Structures are given as C-alpha cells and as structure tokens.
Amino acid sequence: MAGACCKCTATLSVFKRSLSVAPRGCSSAPRYQLAGWRLGERGLQEASRASSAVRPAGFYRHTASVCLSCQESMSESLRTCYVYLNQTSRSFAAVIQALDGELRHAVCIFYLVLRALDTVEDDMSIPLNTKVPMLNDFHTYLYQHDWCFTKSQEKDRQVLEDFPTISLEFRNLAQDYRDVISEICHRMGVGMAEFLEKKVGSMKEWDLYCHYVAGLVGVGLSKLFSASKLEDPEVGQDTELANSMGLFLQKTNIIRDYLEDTQEGRAFWPQEASLHSAAANIIFIFVPNFTILPAWSQFAGRLEDFAQPQKLDSALSCLNLLVTDALQHVPDVIAYLSRLRNQSVFNFCAIPQVMAIATLSSCYNNPMVFQGVVKIRKGQAVTLMMDATNMGAVQTIIAQYSQEIFQKVSLTDPSRDKTLHILTVIQEKSTLSQSSLPSRTHHLSPMYLSAAMLLAALSWQYLNTTAAQAQGTGDMQGQ
C-alpha cells in the first residue's frame, strides 16, 4: 500500500482535557462529513454571547477538577486520542466528552476512526487506484497494529499518521463496541468508494448517499448506546429511526451549504426526484405512470444557475422541495428521542436535531441560501442548547420551528400541499400529551445543567476567537 508504514514513534503532546476551543483554519468543507457532529459544531459556533448566568461562580473550577480526575485514569495512548478529538472535532468534542462512563471512550474512538476514513476519502492527492482499495479495506486496518498512512495532504492527517494509537485504543474497547465500530467503518468505506465518481442523481440516490455519510453514523451511535447499557436494546435495534436521525442532519447540511459546495465544484442536491423516494412516499408532482421527474433540473439547466438573480423563483421552488423532503424525517426524530433514558445521551442526540430544524426554518424560502451563508442567530443557538434537555422542551422547539416554516409557505409554491401535509404531521407528533412520555424536566442533576452551561460558554468563547481572526484576516486583505 503506497504510503503505508510500520508504526513510528509519535510525539505525544502533554494531554489537556481541553474544554476551551481553538478554531481551525479556514478551508473548504470536505466532501464527506460526520453529519451529526458537523451540524452540532456549527450550531455551537453560532453562539457568541453568554449571559453571566451561563458562567456561575466556581463553574470553571468545577470543570477543571473533573478534567484532572479523567486524566489520571487514562492511558497515555487514550490521552493522545482525546488530543486528536479536540484537534479534529472543534467545539463539539466537549459534547462527546460529556457522555457517561465507558461510552465516552467508545464514541471518541468511533469518531476518530470515521475521521480517519473521511480524511482518506477527502484527500484529492491520493490516486483513485489507491484510494478505492483503502476505503473498502479500511475496517481491516483496525486490527493491523502497525498500519498508518503518511502521504496524506489533508489538515487532519495526524489521525492517519498516528493511526496505530487510535487502533490500539479501538482494540482496548469491549468486544461489543469493537464489533459496531468495525461494521460501520466497513459499510461507510464501501459507500464512500461507490460515490467517488458518482453524482447524486435521483432522490433514491440522495437517500443512499446520506445513508452512507450520516445514516450509518446514527446507526453506529445507537448501537453503541445500547451496548453501553445506558439505553435499551431497541434503541440500537431500530436502525430505521437511527438512519432517519442521520439523514435529517445530512440533508440539512446539504441544503444549507448549496453556495459553498457549488463554488467548490461539488453537487449534492439531487438532480432527479423519483415519485417513489426511498425515505418516504412523497409525491411532489402529480403525473401519470409514476414518471421520474427532475429535482433541480426541472428548474435550471445547471445547479450553479440558482445563484443567478434571474433564477431566484426557480431556486426557491427547488429549495422548498428539498426542505420538504428533509422534514419527512422529523417524526422519526421525535420517536427516536422519546426512547432515550440516559440524560447525557439525550443531550448528545437532541442538540444537533433542534439545531437542524432551526436551520431548516432559516433556509426555507430564503434567497440567502443562494447568496451567502444562512445562520441561526447566536443567542438562538445558546437558547437551544440550554433548553434541549428534556423531551417536552424538544417537542416545543420542533413545534415552534415547524410553525415558522408553515407561515412561510407560499400559495404558489409547487411543493405547497406536501409541505403543509408534513408540517401538520410534525405538529401532531410534537404536541402529544406529555403524560405519554417520560419527563426529564424534574430530574436534571446539577452536573447536566452545568454541562449545558459549559456548552454555551464554549460557544461564546469559540465564536469570539473566530470572529477576531476573521476580522484580522479581513483587515490584512484590505491592506
């Protein structure tokens, strides 16, 4: 294998259980993203200001003592893995590290393994005749003690260069965790290889692409939750709901990132909308004989044409069609979250989902999707993170943003009927009697409330640092 080598001595940084955040360099988004983590990170970065209530007296002192306790029980190689986690996952590393018990380590290693796989796929300097076998075989490297790859040009290449440290900690996990991580790594690698030279054409292919990129992450995490015994077996067994969790996040990413992707020469909006979408039987346009109809190609000759002002009406019609398709996963999201019993797992899963529906609400019928970056408000992001700690609050948030979308639906929008239908279903699901759901409202320990406040504080710190860097860069360019 070109670039593969035996394990060399890696320089091990002095481990810091870093809950502060160092922003990464500004580079184009990789083709494959770990969707749940990615959307959560972006949401965290939107929160720039935290009130004094977010940082109570003694807050950081309490956090530091927890960090030192964690460090003392870790091996040197595991500490290095957490260094890599903080380097490659930005602020959302804090959410992973807030998980309970041994699940925290399993999810950390799961993330790093998929980050390494993602780095191989995203590295355009690796020729296809090398990359395709690597993606297909990557899961086998978990059991090859000395395998590493030293020829990557990607910014996260350290996870490949020091992969023996990651694979060592993978092999130190319980067998149940290893089986899940290896299986998901294998399936994702095969899917990545399949889409290397394949564009997303039909809605069915869009669902499949999102399954490989994000649905499998949801499936893997769910199986890890159940393997940890923190959640019931059905959470890991119901792969349909877990897949929907991932698809909802990834479709939101793709919709929001239209301009960035097209400017970088990437196209993830589906070209054709099948009347038999794999994810849901939503018929957007009524025609006889179940004909295959275009998605964006019914509105423009090229996907990038949507950025032209004269194409705005067509662009918004296509945008709203795709938002409607993404919203079909929300009932599954509600069903999935309602099953969770562990507070740290609930927070880990709920925050990205509420960020996603808030983002979709901002994107729906919004011309800015084709002109710039659509963001949720900074204070809004803090509020979502603070509030999304119980099922009742999450249902309220979902109902709020689905109502916002409802109010934006145009009388002339081609997808109007289907949009209104799925919004009605979501409203019904999100306003179920709370007596039928286990409530966490009165059972939150101070530790979990502190964790929520920590996330808000991190958000404020991260964005202030990022904004300062961006301003400095702008000043330099102006000179």
Low-confidence ranges of the chain (pLDDT < 50): 1-33, 39-40, 42-66, 273-294, 433-435, 437-450, 452-453, 456-457, 459-479
| Structural domain includes residue 401 | yes
Q: 256, 258, 401, 462: which one is catalytic?
A: 256
Total domains, the chain: 1
Separation of alpha carbons 214 and 252, rounded Å: 11
Separation of alpha carbons 290 and 32, rounded Å: 32
State which residues form the domain around 415: 266-435
Neighbours of 287 (CB within 10 A): 10
Instruction: Give residue 311's identity as a one-letter amino acid code.
Output: K
Strands 148-149 and 272-273: unpaired
Q: What are the Cα distances from residue 113, in Å, to 154, 170, 178, 320, 465?
A: 15, 9, 11, 35, 28
Separation of alpha carbons 334 and 392, rounded Å: 10
Q: Are 220 and 342 in contact (CB under 8 A)?
A: no
Residues ≥6 apart with Cβ < 8 Å to 359 = 39, 43, 252, 256, 374, 376
Give the angle subtended at the CA of 101 by the CAs of 170 and 330, to the nearest 5°. Answer: 90
Q: Which 3 state secondary structure label does DSSP give 294?
A: strand
Instruction: Write down the pLDDT at residue 262.
Output: 86
In the numeric block, which tokens belong to residue 452?
């929520």
Q: 31, 55, 187, 266: which one is catalytic?
A: 266
Q: 170, 248, 299, 348: which one is catalytic?
A: 348
Q: What are the Cα distances from residue 260, in Å, to 192, 289, 320, 373, 473?
A: 21, 37, 18, 8, 19
Number of helices (H) and strands (E), helices first, in the chain? 21, 4
Q: Are 134 and 196 in contact (CB under 8 A)?
A: no
Q: Are 391 and 439 in contact (CB under 8 A)?
A: yes
Instruction: Write down the pLDDT at residue 412.
Output: 93
| Structural domain includes residue 108 | no
Q: Are 404 and 361 in contact (CB under 8 A)?
A: yes
Residue 294: strand pairing partners:
272
Q: What is the pLDDT of residues 107-123, one digit of tens each?
A: 999 999 999 999 999 89
| Structural domain includes residue 469 | no
| Structural domain includes residue 27 | no
Q: Are 299 and 318 in contact (CB under 8 A)?
A: yes
Q: Which 3 state secondary structure label does DSSP give 295?
A: coil
Strands (E), 94-247: 148-149
Q: What is the pLDDT of residues 223-269, one digit of tens each?
A: 999 999 999 999 999 999 999 999 999 999 999 998 888 888 888 88
Query: Is 256 tagged catalytic?
Result: yes
Q: Are 79 and 410 in contact (CB under 8 A)?
A: no
**Which CATH number covers residue 390?**
1.10.600.10
Listed residue (439, 435, 425, 424) closest to 394, CA to CA: 439
Separation of alpha carbons 277 and 273, rounded Å: 7
Give the angle subtended at the CA of 154 by the CAs of 150 and 155, to the nearest 5°. Answer: 110
Instruction: Write down the pLDDT at residue 301.
Output: 61
Separation of alpha carbons 364 and 15, rounded Å: 43
Residue 273: strand pairing partners:
293
Separation of alpha carbons 419 and 77, rounded Å: 50
Question: What is the gyration radius of the CA atoms in the chain, in angstroms?
Answer: 22
Query: Is 266 tagged catalytic?
Result: yes
| Structural domain includes residue 417 | yes
Q: 209, 225, 299, 306: which one is catalytic?
A: 209
| Structural domain includes residue 320 | yes
pTM: 0.77
| Structural domain includes residue 412 | yes
| Structural domain includes residue 140 | no
Phi and psi angles of residue 265, each rounded to the nearest 5 degrees, phi first: 80, 20
